[in-house]
Chain A
Amino acid sequence: MSLNPESNGKEEVRIGFFVCHCGTNIAGMIDVEEVAKYVATLPNVVVSKDYKYMCSDAGQDLIVQDIKEHRLNRIVVAACSPLLHERTFRTATMRGGINPFFCHMVNIREHGSWVHSEKASATEKAKAVARGAIGRVKFHKPLEKRKEPVEPAVMVLGGGIAGIQAALTVANSGKRVYLVERDATIGGHMAYFDKTFPTLDCAACILTPKMSEVGAHPNITLWTYSDVEQITGYVGNYKVRVKHRPRYIIEKDCVGCLDCIDHCVFKNGNTDDEFNQGLSKRKPVYIPFPQAVPKIVAIDPNACDFLAKGKCDQTCIPSCDKNAIDFTQKETFDDIKVGAIIVATGFKTFDAKRKPLYGYGKHQNVYTALEVERLVTSSGPTEGHVVLRDGRTPKSVGIVHCVGSRDHQTNRWCSRVCCMYSLKLAHLIKEHTNAEIYNFYIDMRCPGKGYEEFYERLLEEGNHFIRGRVAEVTDAAQTKDEEGKLVIRVEDTLAGFARRIPVDMVVLATGLEPREDANDVRRMFNISCSTEGFFLERHPKLAPVSTTTDGLFLAGACQGPKDIPDTVAQAGAAAAEAMALMDAGFVEMEPMTSEVDELRCSGCKTCLNMCPYSAIGRDDAKGVAVINPVLCKGCGVCVAACPSGAITQNLFEDQEIFAEIKEILAHA
């Protein structure tokens, strides 16, 4: 690619300066005409103009025309953030016939007009930074983007509904997918649910066919009980090491007959069943739930007598006619190469014990919503009978909304799904028990297709809605009616007085949180996160599934609380982004890499240890450092460290930055 063969960056510098009004976004706080006038007086500036919307077609054409008309060979655009429109103006510059990297952007909107409130000083600041750019752009050199082929495979991390949807979408396009799941089965949180709001269709009926499809898909390699151990490489060419934890079962031999579970030395469960939220017990050898995919048992090393204590009759081994039980299994590893990665690691629910006044863990009839999900499910520990821990059927139930959400003491955000799932549970509990249901809410948030209608339906079904944040759940009775019951103390903000509502059962609508190991995940994958810990998208509106790491996409609640329809839609979007990347066949690498000037390099090796990507080697014959441009990611750490000044970083050369500093400060 040679965009302008006659340009070598050494001819007379002719700069075009364009400042954008952005409607009134910039022009309202910065006198753009004055900025243009000022820049026109600077050396080498041939054209200096302001325009209403530089990013519009007309604005871009202005650049293209002026390059041709005035033989411009450098472009400076003062507008919004380069993170938003750098590509736009580089492309326009290229259309004008000069190398796109001769264009530089100055941010006078996000860093200027939007954050200042005094026009004179904001204008002075804009002039200074514009002058800095004029100073630096002189030193710009023509650069080329390197093309790298893309590996046509995707890794999906996390096998909840987001990961399942993303994996199936990519796999259906004919690409290879590696689905890596930490647990023994895929399905995620959705597998816990009985019904889904607002349609009340059975969660298992819509989820399990998709799970089986994943298990049977020829393009999907499903690895459960597995973690990502290490990741290297870059967009289009990620190398991932996946660790498979031993499940003590030879996966390819297990047919899922479950005979071993019957023959375990433990006749009853000895361990809390995670799938039933600890409401029942399971054995050391178990399958999470009957429709688990893959339908392969696992042996819990903490619960199994042989693995934990080394002593057991091992009655499970002879019970397996496939000889699939293998207590000698160790961790194994697989190394894969993928072009893109979709992170769909999901969420965890708020720990209700962090709100001690609600009595979870203290009063036995206080439940979390997820526990009640299991109670209303026919496949759950009580086979769908909503009963208290002592076996009684509750006659009155209080559902406390916003537990751990919208709360400055815990999590400030709204978890988005709790209002709707509380309505769903209210409906289901009423259906199962005909109990009186009290919902305690701050605001009912039911935005979504059919959601408000569902709320209305619940109102018509005779559920009680009390507006107010619950203060306390207590068993201290004050009247005879309250004896033996849990009393919910709340200020009814619509009625305007404090109330005490005695109920048999309390359901805490716990909010959604980032997973406890979200930090480890994002550090391994180099994803930013927002203050609350959810993974950060590249742009909240325009790049909602991308991250700042190219080739890495987000799906589902790891990016923020969302319900199933939104999760599935986002997973589809992440899959589409990954497919677009692969179908292009190659990626263009930013040219901001560093280079060593052999003549100036003293061979001191200082830079070698600086590089986090091992991109710097040493040519022992010449006694100089050599940077591998394929491995270099363009951070510039080595440049700053080189004592001989022998390393330069494209677009961030010393002379460019020094010129920028000097010119910014030259403006009084």
Chain B
Amino acid sequence: MPEEFEPRIIAFFCNWCTYTAADLAGVSRMKYAPTTRVVRVMCSGRIDPQFVLSAFAQGADGVLIGGCHPGDCHYIEGNYKMLRRFNLLKRMLSDMGIEKERVRLEWISASEGDRVKKVVNEMTEHIRALGPLKLPEAMAKWDVEFEEEVKEEPAHV
């Protein structure tokens, strides 16, 4: 029996709410799964969908985005900008075959340390059930298949 799969989740947390909430979870010694690697940004509105794609392409099993609650953004409305991008991104990812459980947007305010714990644990469980994404390996395989296809059928000029 192989060792239990430990997902790797890239977590983009906004400085003012979710990052602070994660600090609070720490100060309160709440225990959660060691699966997230936090990338701090000032605002969830800074998160370029390409960051998410890049994370998956480099081997992340999941991406968690944390921002302030609607109406509470430190920069007035950056979280709404993120929400719009996220809805588009989610559709695109599902078209690409990346399960919806692998990407999650959560509004977590600075006082909700327990919510960080809950969300990370939940997401870890969901992804564990799905298994590793292994996108880099898949992409390498696709590259080989593509090369072969090109060899077999030279492009029409």
Contact = CB atoms under 8 A, between A and B. Distances in A.
B26 A658 contact: no
A309 B112 CA distance: 49
The 9 closest A-B CB pairs, nearest first, are A110-B26, A636-B46, A635-B75, A637-B45, A635-B43, A612-B76, A114-B26, A530-B111, A665-B58
Interface stretch (A116-124, A204-212, A258-266, A347-355): A116-124
Contacts of A107: 23, 38
A180 B120 CA distance: 44
Interface in B70-129: 71-72, 74-78, 81, 85, 109-112, 117
A83 interface: yes
Interface in B1-40: 6, 8, 10, 15-17, 19-20, 22-23, 25-27, 29-32, 34, 36-40
B145 interface: no
B51 interface: yes
A424 B116 CA distance: 43
30 contacts: A83-B20, A83-B23, A107-B38, A110-B25, A111-B38, A114-B26, A115-B29, A115-B31, A115-B34, A115-B117, A124-B34, A125-B34, A125-B37, A128-B37, A129-B37, A548-B16, A548-B20, A635-B74, A635-B75, A635-B78, A636-B78, A637-B43, A637-B78, A640-B45, A641-B81, A649-B46, A661-B54, A661-B55, A662-B54, A665-B8
Interface string A522-539: 010010111100001000
Contacts of B111: 528-531, 536
Nearest to B111: A530
Given A612-B78, A652-B41, A660-B39, A523 B109 contact: no
B137 interface: no
B64 interface: no
Nearest to B14: A635
A664 interface: yes
Interface of A: 81-84, 107, 109-112, 114-118, 121-122, 124-125, 128-129, 132, 523, 526, 528-531, 536, 548-549, 592, 610, 612-613, 633-637, 639-641, 649, 652, 654, 657-658, 660-662, 664-666
Contacts of A610: 81
A633 B48 contact: no
A121 B6 contact: yes
A613 B50 CA distance: 25
Nearest to A612: B76
A641 B51 CA distance: 13
Given A83-B23, A637-B45, A639-B46, A658 B74 contact: no
A128 B35 CA distance: 11
B37 A664 contact: yes
A523 B71 contact: yes
B43 to A, nearest CB: 4
Contacts of B31: 115-117
Given A121-B34, A523-B71, A635-B46, A666 B58 contact: yes
Given A110-B22, A110-B23, 16 more contacts: A81-B23, A111-B26, A111-B38, A125-B36, A129-B38, A531-B111, A548-B16, A635-B43, A636-B45, A640-B49, A649-B46, A652-B42, A658-B54, A661-B54, A665-B59, A666-B58
A665 B40 CA distance: 15
A189 to B, nearest CB: 25
Q: Report the contact-size class of chain B (Cβ under 8 Å from the partner).
A: 35 or more
Contacts of B77: 612
Contacts of B19: 83
Contacts of A116: 31-32, 34
Nearest to A29: B34
B104 to A, nearest CB: 17
B16 to A, nearest CB: 6
Contact of B22 (A111, A592, A633, A666): A111
A610 B77 CA distance: 9
Nearest to B46: A636
A526 B71 CA distance: 10
Contacts of A124: 34
A413 B77 CA distance: 31
A636 B76 CA distance: 12
Contacts of B38: 107, 111, 129
Contacts of A652: 41-42, 46
Contacts of A661: 10, 39, 51, 54-55, 58, 60
Contacts of B39: 132, 657, 660-661, 664
Contacts of B48: 639-640, 654, 657
Contacts of A613: 76
A109 B71 CA distance: 30
Nearest to B32: A115
A665 B10 CA distance: 9
Contacts of B43: 635-637
A307 to B, nearest CB: 34
With most chain A CB atoms within 10 A of its CB, the pick from B29, B30, B40 is B40
Nearest to A530: B111
A662 B34 CA distance: 19
B85 A528 contact: no
Contacts of A665: 8, 10, 37, 55, 58-60
A543 B139 CA distance: 49
